[in-house]
Every structure is written in structure tokens, then in C-alpha cells.
A and B are shown apart, each in its own frame.
Chain A
Amino acid sequence: MVLWGVLQLIIFLLLGMFLRETTNLPVSGSIIGLCLLTLYFHTRSKPLSNIVKNTSHILQSLLSLFLIPVGAGILFYFQLVQDQLLWIILLLIFNAIFTLLVCIYTYQYFSDAGDVE
């Protein structure tokens, strides 16, 4: 019955895409669909069915496969910034590490203040 779980996800994805089209929000339809599905779960009194949980787990475990087509364009598009390529790569690496460190230390600081369960 994984298909039933997939169908539910498709319905929320389509709803998200419809809302994105009609409202011009700068967020993808899938993210809107995710927010809508989370809200829907909260409005239900029943616990989550195993069908939905299993479908979600199967898809999550394959996420890195689904990202390959989007990433495969790197070689093509980086040619557009050939003159600054090295500096841009260095910026991407430095910025990523810097943001991650700020995230880690801020979260740790406020967690240490007694906020984490």
C-alpha cells in the first residue's frame, strides 16, 4: 500500500504547486506542500498511519539519488564564471564552513542555557 502513501504526497505536492502559481511565493511548491501536509497531520486526531511513515522513510533513504540530476549541471554552469572560478569556489567553501560554525556555536550556546530536552 505504499502507493496510497505516494498518492497522498502527490495530492499535497500538487496543492503546493497550485498555491505557488497563484500566490507567486518565492518558495517551491514542494516546500509549500510540506508545510500543508504538516498542518494537515496536526489537524487530525488519529496517529499517523504506517503507510505514510513507510513511504516517507523509503523516499528519504533515496534522497541523495534524487539530487544527482540537479547537481549534474555544475560542470556546465561553472563555465559561466570561469574568470572568477577559483575565488568563487573558495568563497563557497569558506562561507559554508563559516555559516555552519555560527550555527553550531549559537545553537550550542542557547542549548547550554537549558533549552534542550
Chain B
Amino acid sequence: MIELILTITQNKHFWLSFTIFNYLVFELLSIRFNRPAYLNSTLLSVIIISVSLKLLDVTYIEYLEKLEILRFLLSLTIVAFAVPLYENTKIIIKNWKAIFATLITANIASYIPTIIYIKYFNTSHALIAPLMGKSATSPVNMAISEITQSNISLAAIFSISTGIIIAIIGPMILNILKISNPQSRGFSIGFAGHGVGCAQMVSEGQIVISFAVLGLILNGILTALTLPIILNLV
């Protein structure tokens, strides 16, 4: 039996099929229960796959190599966000003041808890940049960590974890606070939860998703500009 499992898992298409299977099962469950936040298909699939990789003694690098196609499609999806962004240009321009004010305030605010943490825990140099940039999308955080010779993998994981946290609790917080304005819902989740957050908001319509993408991009650009300055001051 063990031999059979090992033979199946060694097939080059196994991990791709396993990932899609997990995603489908959790998506169907999520739809069945009216999409509750705790049934996040990304998070649950990530947990099952991480544990499976550990149990089957497969390294993360090996897994990533077999899922190159999904990573490529992720890059294509990011480019495809140009469509909602273009279609909602007029609404975005009309709300430029709120967007600009939120961008500056929230970007500065996102550094404060981490600065306090770094000072209190005397954190090692390799962790400072990845932790400080975690509110930005992972490519930006990774690029800044690379420049500052910090741990790039941790930068990616901190950013993605932040996204997952926002994807789970973000919509709940928005609903508790009775935020119904689609621009505000989208921009806040995109800013704080980047890619994973945007994915969670896809079901809320094109205005929400275009503002989420805008939040993701603008926060990424501003973090790339401000974080190197802040790192010099910390």
C-alpha cells in the first residue's frame, strides 16, 4: 500500500492534480455553505498540501518545480487585472482624494506595530526588512529584502501570510463595521491583503476588484519607495 502511494506521488503530474483536487473540494464546500470566511479554499489547501509534503518527505522546491504552470498563470492573472482597472478608470479618478489620503496614512501606519516589535524584541537584521515590508505584495517585499540582504523566502511568506489573514478576517471586519461602499471595501482589502485579499474579493464584483487591485499596486509602489528610507531610520 505504501509502495503504491509512493509510486503515485512520484508521478510528475501528481502534485498538480493533488493541488487542483484540494482546491476543488474546498471550493465546493465553501459554495455549499455560502462562502463563510473560515472555509477559505486557499488556506485549507495550503494546510493540507504543506502537511502532505512534510509527510511524504518532498521538499518545497521540488513541489514548486512541478507547479510551474500555476505560478505562470498567477503572473498572467495579475496582468489581466488591467481589465477591471481600465473599465473603472472614471470612478478611480473621481475618488482620487480618498485614495491618495488612505494610501499615505495606511502606508505609514502599517510600519508602526513592526517598528515597536523590532525595538522590543531586538530582532535580527535578516528579519527586519521582511517584517517591515509584509504589508506590501510579496514581489515588492522580496525585492527590498534582496537589496538589503535579508531573507527573501521569509519576505514572501510574511507577505502571503498577511494576505491570508486579511482574506479570512478582512471581509468579516468589513461586514461587522457595516462598510458597504464597494470602493472602500476593495481598496482596503487590496491594500492590506494584496494578492490573496484580491482573490477573496473576486466574487464581490468588478468595482470592488478594480479598487482592490489599485490598493495592491499603489501600496506596492509606495512601499518600494518608502521602506528603504524607513529601514535606514530604524
Contact = CB atoms under 8 A, between A and B. Distances in A.
Interface of A: 6, 9-10, 12-13, 16, 25-31, 33-35, 37-38, 40-42, 48, 52-53, 55-57, 59-78, 80-81, 84, 87-88, 91-104, 106-111, 113, 115-117
Nearest to B98: A110
B76 interface: yes
Given A34-B78, A59-B76, A115-B95, A70 B102 contact: no
Chain A interface SS verdict (over half): helix
A70 B153 CA distance: 10
B156 A13 contact: no
Nearest to B217: A31
A10 B77 CA distance: 10
29 contacts: A10-B76, A28-B140, A31-B139, A34-B213, A35-B217, A59-B77, A63-B77, A63-B199, A64-B42, A69-B19, A69-B71, A70-B74, A70-B156, A71-B42, A71-B160, A73-B60, A74-B46, A80-B153, A84-B121, A96-B192, A98-B113, A100-B192, A103-B192, A106-B98, A107-B188, A110-B101, A111-B95, A111-B183, A117-B94
Given A60-B77, A72-B46, A115-B98, A26 B147 contact: yes
